Chain A
Amino acid sequence: MSFLNIQNLSKNYGTVPVLKNISLEIEEGGFLVLVGPSGCGKSTLLNTIAGLEAINEGTITISAKDVSQLHPSERDIAMVFQSYALYPNMTVAGNISFGMEMRGVPRDERDRSVKQVSDLLQIGHLLNRKPGQLSGGQRQRVAMGRALVRKPQVFLFDEPLSNLDAKLRVDMRTEIKRLHQRLKTTIVYVTHDQVEAMTLATKIAVLKDGVLQQFGSPAEIYNDPINMFVADFMGSPAMNLLKGKMSVTGGKTQLMLGQNEERCVSIDLKQTSAALKIYKDKDVIFGIRPEALTDFASASYNGASIVKVNCLIEVVEPAGSDTFAITKLGGKEVVARLRADANVQAGQYSDLAFNLDKAVFFDPTSQLRIA
């Protein structure tokens, strides 16, 4: 049985629905990441789990106990806030032990727990400082300490890394993952950063406009996006989405990219599913990730259905570990991810390899996945 279970949850602000019939579950010790663009309702969903915002319909159960109507402090959860929300008038030790104080935990026990947590997070030397005297990373640790000390059944994280600079963010990300592996406590984590989502999660829930789009493992979300939104949102640089037309001539299925005859590119699809065949002579959206569109040398040994297309390279962006090449297919800009030392130059034609194993197809009107 799942550990945290959200069923048919809906929430409105007045007449405006912000969460629509959301059902999610995560097993004990799992790491659930809620991801989506700003305003998608992910933070609201987290707040309803925390009990900071009331729900209109549905239930939330933690460890088989319905907590939907309980006060936040009675749900056996702890939360790390985006701004850390450290009490500025209290010392670090005071911040960490405030919750225990509210629950009437005796002083010596509080001191013991504070000591334990501060050792774990290596903030022992900061205990008598005020939050104002700490650096961003230190505040982040204290905020985690305040959550850890409660030994809750579920940790909630609300974009905890978004206020840190790039380098520190990567370090803290690793630290959170390490902590999770060590404590094995269930975590619900909100972020708008899809890299964070991919690296941390055991399960990802993608939200948009208050509707759950897809719920699955990081690999499922990345490789088998259920619709164009998920495909576009996850991955950086984003998946290339191109409009094309299917044609079947003499058992050979071809995809024509672009309407205009002279800039038209046709790709032979070697293996075609039945679902795709229905779209004969119809428009589809062809999706291919930049890493599946690469220089020939990198592509040759990792795919069964490789198709070669000669493309005019417009811009070359060396990124150190890779080189990104921007070209146009059927009049639309496309990003290809090449080896760092790939021999491409802006303004010249190069052969690019399409790994069609990794290609996905969407219906242009419903935006749902076809194949």
Chain B
Amino acid sequence: MLDDQTSKQTFTRVLARRRFADILPKLVLAPSFAITLVFVYGFILFTGALSLTGSKLLPDLTKWVGLTNYERLFDHPNWWISLGNLAIFTCLYITICSVLGLALAILLDQKIRGEGVLRPIYLYPMALSFIVTGVAWKWFLDPGIGLEHVMKLWGFESFSFRWIKDSQFAIYTIVIAAIWQSSGFVMAMFLAGLRGVDNEIIKAAQIDGASNWTLYRRIIIPMMTPVFLSAFVVLAHLAIKSYDLVVAMTDGGPGTATWTPALFMQKFTFGRNEMGMGSASAIIMLMMVAAVIVPYLYSELAKKKSS
């Protein structure tokens, strides 16, 4: 009887411990989950709500204005300038980074003596802050002391390069600096991809009589499709978020010539106290990022599941 009692108690204790062991992992994950829920998804909802209000300097969730902010946004010339710049920036940035990255990776993959020195040289800009990059390029492209000045000192009196001061061309100087910063990274991605190509495929192609050019054009570069895709996603994502570099190089100038959506959001929310419109622009940015990221992640996960 007594024995029965004790064994019953032991059993309940065992069960209780087991139950605690079952919820412990959930307890450990809970804070991070709660943080993500509030600080990411909650905040997105909050910003979304703000974009439907007439908030000016401070958040004001009592003045609902419907989609007015979005209408005003898409009526505003600065927003169209921002979108236009983003389009120019994104296209050039992604295309040139990919082409340059792939070309460098292929050249570096030719059993180059000194690869160990060259590779870090191509890649180090990625370690720098966009602000540092911006400072370096801002002064290097400055007509008064930079490239133009240097060329004139070297005797090319008629040489002129003042894009950074020219509202039509200033955005392209930002593209140059951004490519300088990121193309090495794309090179590293492609290099890793090239080194993953099965050696036997290359041997087989050579036995089939493929020249080096054909080998790359017909066999190796098509095998790099997943790398292109990854590079595209990373670069597009960086481009949409581009803010630091613009601030450091031109701060949107000359005038409003180099505004981007990220800059627009910041300037309207905190500079012009148009929090409602600022929120609306942030929501549009989120949609643009989601349009790139969500299909990509979805296909990656689907690929994983099927394998």
Interface residue ranges of A104-163 to B (CB < 8 Å): none
Interface residue ranges of B6-59 to A (CB < 8 Å): 11, 14-15, 17-18, 21
Nearest CB of chain B from residue A60's CB, rounded to whole Å: 14
Which residue of A is nearest B15, CB measured?
A69
Q: Across the interface, do A71 and B21 meet the contact criterion of CB distance under 8 Å?
A: yes
Contact with B along A44-72 (1 / 0, CB 8 A): 00000000000000000000000001110
Q: Across the interface, do A69 and B21 meet the contact criterion of CB distance under 8 Å?
A: no
Q: How many A-B contacts if CB must be within 8 Å?
A: 8
Nearest CB of chain A from residue B132's CB, rounded to whole Å: 39
Contact with B along A71-92 (1 / 0, CB 8 A): 1000000000000000000000
For B17, the chain A residues whose CB sits under 8 A away are 71
Which residue of B is nearest A69, CB measured?
B14
Nearest CB of chain B from residue A75's CB, rounded to whole Å: 12
- Cα distance A70–B17 when bound, in Å? 10
Interface residues of chain B: helix, strand, loop or mixed (majority): helix
Which residue of A is nearest B22, CB measured?
A54
Nearest CB of chain B from residue A85's CB, rounded to whole Å: 20
- Cα distance A268–B17 when bound, in Å? 67
Which residue of B is nearest A66, CB measured?
B11
Nearest CB of chain B from residue A226's CB, rounded to whole Å: 37
- Cα distance A71–B21 when bound, in Å? 10
Nearest CB of chain B from residue A353's CB, rounded to whole Å: 50
For A70, the chain B residues whose CB sits under 8 A away are 14
For B15, the chain A residues whose CB sits under 8 A away are 69
Nearest CB of chain A from residue B289's CB, rounded to whole Å: 35
Nearest CB of chain A from residue B24's CB, rounded to whole Å: 13
The tally of residues in B whose CB lies under 8 Å from a CB in A reads 6
Nearest CB of chain A from residue B19's CB, rounded to whole Å: 11
Nearest CB of chain B from residue A52's CB, rounded to whole Å: 13
- Cα distance A345–B13 when bound, in Å? 72
- Cα distance A71–B17 when bound, in Å? 9
Interface residue ranges of B202-250 to A (CB < 8 Å): none
For B14, the chain A residues whose CB sits under 8 A away are 69-70
Which residue of B is nearest A70, CB measured?
B14
- Cα distance A71–B24 when bound, in Å? 15
Nearest CB of chain A from residue B67's CB, rounded to whole Å: 44
Nearest CB of chain B from residue A67's CB, rounded to whole Å: 10
- Cα distance A369–B18 when bound, in Å? 45
For A71, the chain B residues whose CB sits under 8 A away are 17-18, 21
Nearest CB of chain A from residue B31's CB, rounded to whole Å: 26
Nearest CB of chain A from residue B159's CB, rounded to whole Å: 62
Nearest CB of chain A from residue B300's CB, rounded to whole Å: 25
- Cα distance A69–B18 when bound, in Å? 8
- Cα distance A66–B218 when bound, in Å? 66
Nearest CB of chain A from residue B91's CB, rounded to whole Å: 48
Which residue of B is nearest A74, CB measured?
B14
- Cα distance A39–B17 when bound, in Å? 32
Contact with B along A96-107 (1 / 0, CB 8 A): 000000000000
Nearest CB of chain B from residue A54's CB, rounded to whole Å: 9
Nearest CB of chain B from residue A186's CB, rounded to whole Å: 23
Nearest CB of chain B from residue A48's CB, rounded to whole Å: 15
Nearest CB of chain A from residue B7's CB, rounded to whole Å: 9
For B18, the chain A residues whose CB sits under 8 A away are 69, 71
- Cα distance A69–B17 when bound, in Å? 10
Nearest CB of chain A from residue B267's CB, rounded to whole Å: 52
For B21, the chain A residues whose CB sits under 8 A away are 71
- Cα distance A317–B87 when bound, in Å? 71
- Cα distance A86–B87 when bound, in Å? 54
Which residue of A is nearest B11, CB measured?
A69
Interface residue ranges of B44-92 to A (CB < 8 Å): none
Contact with B along A252-282 (1 / 0, CB 8 A): 0000000000000000000000000000000
- Cα distance A85–B14 when bound, in Å? 27
- Cα distance A69–B15 when bound, in Å? 7
Which residue of A is nearest B18, CB measured?
A69
Nearest CB of chain A from residue B296's CB, rounded to whole Å: 30
For B11, the chain A residues whose CB sits under 8 A away are 69
Nearest CB of chain A from residue B62's CB, rounded to whole Å: 47
Which residue of A is nearest B17, CB measured?
A71
- Cα distance A94–B278 when bound, in Å? 60
- Cα distance A70–B7 when bound, in Å? 13
- Cα distance A69–B10 when bound, in Å? 11
- Cα distance A71–B11 when bound, in Å? 12
For A69, the chain B residues whose CB sits under 8 A away are 11, 14-15, 18
- Cα distance A70–B13 when bound, in Å? 11
- Cα distance A70–B14 when bound, in Å? 7
Nearest CB of chain A from residue B22's CB, rounded to whole Å: 9
Closest 8 CB pairs of A and B: A69-B14, A69-B15, A69-B18, A70-B14, A69-B11, A71-B18, A71-B21, A71-B17
Mark B residues whose CB is within 8 Å of A.
11, 14-15, 17-18, 21
**Can you list 8 A-B pairs, Cβ within 8 angstroms, ordered by A?**
A69-B11, A69-B14, A69-B15, A69-B18, A70-B14, A71-B17, A71-B18, A71-B21
Given A69-B11, A71-B18; 6 other pairs, CB 8 A cutoff: A69-B14, A69-B15, A69-B18, A70-B14, A71-B17, A71-B21
